[in-house]
Amino acid sequence: MLPQEFIDGITVLVMFGLRVGIPLALTLAFGYWLEKKLSPRRKQEEEQIEAPRGVRASEKIIQLHCWDVNRCDTAKRAQCAAYKHPELPCWLALQAEGEKVREECFTCALYKPKAKAA
């Protein structure tokens, strides 16, 4: 026959295992179920975002530069941070050069974010 201390130790270990194991198993099961439920939705969103085959994303966007919109002369363009960094939007080019975004940028059509389609 086993000593009472050994049985008490086994009982404590089993109770601890139940105390930790059941919540852990429930959490893992809920996470697995949630992942399976959300996985088709994520795949569907990725398919909608994917660009049509054969068309590059850079070909779909027509780049407008602020110096074209504002009709800046060549002397003003030479000093302009946006003209030095045509790959960046003009307000980001200003920040890249260490300048702050100007007040006129906030009312410019190139600065305003486009409304998202619902």
Q: What is the pLDDT along the chain (118 residues), one digit of tens a residue?
A: 789 999 999 999 999 999 999 999 999 999 999 998 888 777 777 666 654 555 455 545 556 788 888 888 889 888 888 888 888 888 888 888 888 888 888 888 777 655 444 4
- Considering only CA atoms, which of 86, 47, 50 is closest in space to residue 66? 86
- pTM, full prediction: 0.40
Residue 50 lies in a domain: no
What domain range is 92 assigned to? Answer: 64-107
**Residue 35 shares a structural domain with residue 70:** no
Residue 54 lies in a domain: no
- Considering only CA atoms, which of 86, 85, 91, 83 is closest in space to residue 112? 91
Residue 51 lies in a domain: no
- Considering only CA atoms, which of 99, 96, 95, 66 is closest in space to residue 83? 66
Residue 112 lies in a domain: no
Looking at the structure of the chain, the number of domains it has is: 2
* Backbone angles phi and psi of 111, in degrees to 5: -85, -35
Cβ atoms of 78 and 70 within 8 Å: the answer is no
d(CA 81, CA 101): 11
